[in-house]
Chain A
Amino acid sequence: MSKYLQVFKISLEQEFAYRLNFIMWRIRNVLQILVVFFLWDSIFYFQGRELFGYDRDKILTYVFGLIFVKAFVLSARAQDVAGEIGRGEILNSLLKPLNYFKYWLTRDISSKSLNLFFAVIEFGFLFIILKPPFFFQTNPLIIFLFFLCILIAMFIFYLIVFLVNAIPFWAPEMSWGGHFLVTIILVEFLSGSLFPLDILPQNIQNILNLTPFPYLIYFPLQVYLGKIEGLLILKGIIISVVWVLVLWFVMNWIWKKGLKAYQAYGR
């Protein structure tokens, strides 16, 4: 266990090594939220207007909730895995008594905790400036379920990233392409990090709800906002847990094959 504690420590130090980079990235994050905030703020400019079942308070809570959920879920160091494979640096880890999956999971968690810390600061900052109407959930059961969903979401995202990052085992030049396709297009678009998914037509939503993507951002936030209740929460949790299991098995299978291909190939 102390192995991974040390991995956690060194990862944190590594994050701090690129201070300027880190700051720029946080600024980008804040700007992104501002854009989405002002977009929705202007749409709901008239008092009492309600669209897609959202009033101004709830949509702005959604936008502010994004800060947290994204910091928890969508930050992953493991995106560097593809590069490690492509450059052959993975060999350094394979030579050691170290579990590569746990190694990157630990690095992810360290990155996430740092993000969360800054997300709290940014939240406070934006809250003071914009004075948005924020919906504070008070039901402890719902808050518990919200955090449970977040935990599941973290695992789903980590597994997706780890899976996509295995591509260079077979196609070393694909390291960036896979990342782009999955994390930029699929995740950003389909997870609800740009808009709440229930503004989409119902039949598209029905299909989306069977994929793992809504459970990354949209679903946990809906749980928090109290827009999903009772059995529907249970259904969502079951579907997302099934996805964790499916992705876990696929990931293991792909990595076993990938390492074998790599060991047969030898770069």
Chain B
Amino acid sequence: MALPKYKEVKSIVEKSLSTRANNIMRQQMRPFDESPRIIQHEGKTIIHNTLDNQKSQKVMKYKKVQADYKLEYAKLINMTPEAMLAMIDEKARDIGNQMAKHQFEVLNETIEETGNSVDAKGQKITPDLILETMSKMSIPFDKDGNPKMPTLVINPKMSDEFKRVIAEAEADPKHKAKFDALMKQKKEEYDAEQAGRKLVD
């Protein structure tokens, strides 16, 4: 018997499910979900440098991510749409987690290479530790002179503690002064870096 195949209908549904899965994957990749995405349209490798170090030459590392699911027809006939969506969501989260993990690995490698790490040595988070961390970062500014602050990634378990420390720092004029001084220094560094972007003989 020739079964109705619903080619067009399936195309619509599968595309919709794929979009849903992609959105979940992206969410799961936070904070990298807002990173610029490059598609390699041809070729086997991407050779790149960095904005900070144009002499460096790196080969982009690709990693295969996947989620397996064994489709059993016997189970399929009793499966509800909600159950199917739940399965897709779970696999999408799984893939998103794998991608985020890879991104963190690459990030950690870069941090180690550049030496831009701060070892808290088991201490509690303090305003000074945050300022020390920020002092090692390169902070750009917009055309009005406002800093484009970097995204901070913290362990969810430390979220409340972190918020408390930030609130404490903001309320303390001493820390506020340190922060302002750091931003002034960063602005000077940024201006100097921008002034260094020029053509020379």
Chain A bound to chain B: no
